[in-house]
Amino acid sequence: MLHRPLSLCVLLWATLAVGMAAPSPSAPSQLSPSPGKRAITHEDLWLMKRVGAPTVSPDGKWAVLSVTEPSYDDKAQISDLWIVSTDTQNPSPPRRLTGTSGGESGVDWSPDGRRLVFSAKREGDETGQLYLLDLQAGGEAQRLTQLVNGARAPRFSPDGRQIAFSSSDYPGASSEADNQRIAAERKARKWNARIYDGFPIRNWDRWLDDRKPRLWVLELSGGASSATRELLRGTALASEPGFAGRGGDGGDSIDAAWTPDGRGIVFTASTDRHTAAYRFTATQLWYVATTGGEAIRLSGDEHSWSQPTFTADGKTLIAALERYNDKVYNSTDLVALPWRGSVAKSLTLAAARELTRGIDRAVTSFATTADSRQLYFLAEEAGHEKVFVVDLAKGSPRLAFDMQVGVYTNLAIAQSSREPVVLANFESATQPPEVVRLEPKQARHVPLTAFNSAKAGELDLEPVRHFWFTSAQGRKIHNMLVVPPGFDPTKKYPLFVVIHGGPHTMWRDQWVLRWNYHLLAAPGYVVLLTNYSGSTGFGEAFAQTIQGDPLKSAGAELNEAADVAIRDFPFIDASRQCAGGASYGGHLANWLQATSTRYRCLVSHAGLINLESQWGTSDTVYGREVNNGGPVWEQGPVWREQNPIRYAGSFRTPTLVTVGEQDFRVPLNNSLEYWTALQRRQIPSRLVVFPDENHWVLKGENSRLFYREVHAWLARWLAPAGGSPPGGTPPGGIP
């Protein structure tokens, strides 16, 4: 999915969830799980294997996937490639392909299905390099590159004789020798400073540098690299001051796709990144011949394009499209463009067939079939990601089949198989991700892996419950409810309103690592997950309603959702409520602090407290002023009326504030400013700062501490009168 800068929070904080507190006075402090089942622990969650996206072989017989075996010791964590048969009639267990300390990424199959190419950082590598693994000959993977700035995103040419990949250059470098010299000079510098003349300067958790993306082609001979050449160095495109790919700095993605004749590459690039402080920026489609020459622009200025993909017959170019207008959010749609083997004419939306606009949902993943007649895609739909299909000639997208549980991600389709081989990951709130084969005609999927099935089967994890209500503004609002282990509907449980980030994402029926619904509910809490105005999965217009009204309406809907849940689910104790969230969910938790006293406590992770200081310190700025109705110095109504810090005199609710010190999306200053206001107001509060974490809590021991802190805070404030708090006591630290 492509979203504009403000919406980037969306993507990753689609996975947020915070649990809640104690059982009723008549209930035991430790719940009794269902017979034969037990409550989930942090160790269960963290140590489950993490199954990556499938990459299917051209003939559809095999799939390669990464599997990470986590550890609380970062250095002991293992990530390897595995291979599994896609034959559902004669299934066989997956087997490991690699076994090194570093993981692999960007896997691609050769057209004949004999070899794999991937990027990996192995012994002796300072940066990730390309490796080639011959599946028929066996043996170790062979290194193909040795570039000082690394190599990534490899793609085989149609004839399998060449590999395109991405790397980066330092300014002024005209050769790899120049890159090596400049890298050595910078390493030897006696001073240490970052110097900038333009915006942006940061992205998520890293300072940007001055390297620029480059596109390379490597020729293969006898299973080894015989020659490499760089295609963009010295071109007019690479000389543009705003030249960049999608993303941050030298690690930008340029979405390289070989043309069907193997003579050129279509890729994405921006020429206006340097204007990001005062306008929306876009990526366009470009073409460059593998023999060199100037890059040719294929798309116009009116939209942002990405993910170019050719159909197997070479006649159609599929691309993802985000329209340009005055909106912070626009749905990502797919279009089909005729490809005649010539790049003489630009590709415009007028020449394109719109494939997915009709369903009014954001596309998250797509792939075409081997016969080039159909395109399958995944799109968000009311708490799920579902499988859709569209005929390339006729249009009119439709559900391939309707699953009412879980989400599909990472769609992959074999490109030279006789029968359709459609693979994806599947997961739900009760099932960790696995690789499955979709059988649309039978309206089902068949699991190909089961790395975590046995462990998940031991746990007391009830499916999420869905419900809807109509808000005071007349909007249909979707919600999910999660109950604790050992759930007894005759007892009363506290309510924890958990707020998703984004805002342009949605709560899904999904397995969550960072803030797992069931783990946080485990001590005895009911978790309420509301898809408030601004959420995706309910149409573009619904997602856009938050523009110009970033906090007020969404905050009111969260309170309305709690009222409806209390009314309709008698096992919820209305006298014990808490709310919390992360990123945009933290923003809204802080807004509830400013505008409501209904909650006994709040939890705010990476939350905005001051619209003005957030605008001035975040790594993205322009989308924020568009969302708030104009630049901060004009002091429009949103800046004045929906800024939580302006209501600090009304703050009353005890709050746990947590933040990663390396977070540049919602920087540390917001949490410190909030903490200062709470302390100045003498409100019970606790501050947890993770020096080595970013927008998320990603390290095992830090994650375990985070869950302990949240559980202890909820237990402290949601315990019944005279009852012992569930969830344990807070870890040691500053009170």
Residue 24 has pLDDT above 80, yes or no: no
Q: What is the DSSP string of 684-704?
A: -EEEEEETT--SS--SHHHHH
Residue 10 has pLDDT above 60, yes or no: no
Instruction: Tell me the CA distances in angstroms from 221 to 155, 162, 218, one per residue in order.
Output: 16, 9, 10
Question: What DSSP designation does 140 have?
Answer: P
pLDDT band at 17; cut points 50, 70, 90: very low
| Structure-token pair, residue 389 | 């299909």
Q: Which of 69, 86, 89 is nearest to 78 (CA)?
A: 69
pLDDT of res. 345: 54
By the 8 A CB rule, do 651 and 609 touch?
no
pLDDT band at 730; cut points 50, 70, 90: very low
Q: Which of 107, 134, 111, 137 is nearest to 119 (CA)?
A: 107
pLDDT of res. 352: 82
Question: Phi, psi at residue 611, to the nearest 5°?
Answer: -55, -35
The predicted-structure confidence for 430-478, as pLDDT tens digits, reads as follows: 999 999 999 999 999 999 999 999 999 999 999 999 999 999 999 999 9
Strand partners, 469: 477
What are the extents of the domains in the chain? 10-43+460-718
By the 8 A CB rule, do 160 and 222 touch?
no
Instruction: Output the CATH code of domain 10-43+460-718.
Output: 3.40.50.1820
pLDDT band at 32; cut points 50, 70, 90: low
pLDDT of res. 399: 96
Residue 324 has pLDDT above 90, yes or no: no
Question: Phi, psi at residue 79, to the nearest 5°?
Answer: -135, 120
Instruction: Tell me the CA distances in angstroms from 396 to 262, 353, 400, 521, 675, one per residue in order.
Output: 32, 11, 12, 42, 52
pLDDT of res. 341: 72
CB-side exposure of 8: number of CA atoms within 13 Å?
20
pLDDT of res. 346: 56
Longest CA pairwise span in the chain (Å) = 78
By the 8 A CB rule, do 352 and 397 touch?
no
The predicted-structure confidence for 88-102, as pLDDT tens digits, reads as follows: 999 999 999 999 878
pLDDT band at 724; cut points 50, 70, 90: low
**What residue ranges in 324-361 does DSSP mark as E strands?**
333-338, 353-354
Query: Is the previous residue joined to 200 through a cis bond, with omega within 30 degrees of 0?
Result: yes
pLDDT of res. 221: 86
- Output 45 or 731, whichever has higher pLDDT: 45
Q: Which of 304, 300, 348 is nearest to 322 (CA)?
A: 304
Q: What is the DSSP string of 521-566?
A: HTTT-EEEEEE-TT-SSS-HHHHHTTTT-SSHHHHHHHHHHHHHHH
Mean pLDDT across 540-548: 97
| Structure-token pair, residue 286 | 């470009």
The predicted-structure confidence for 133-155, as pLDDT tens digits, reads as follows: 999 998 899 999 999 999 999 99
Question: pTM to 2 decimals?
Answer: 0.92
Question: Helix 552-568 vs helix 584-595: angle between axes, to the nearest 10 degrees?
Answer: 80
What is the rounded distance in angstroms from the CA atom of residue 449 to the CA atom of residue 409?
A: 15
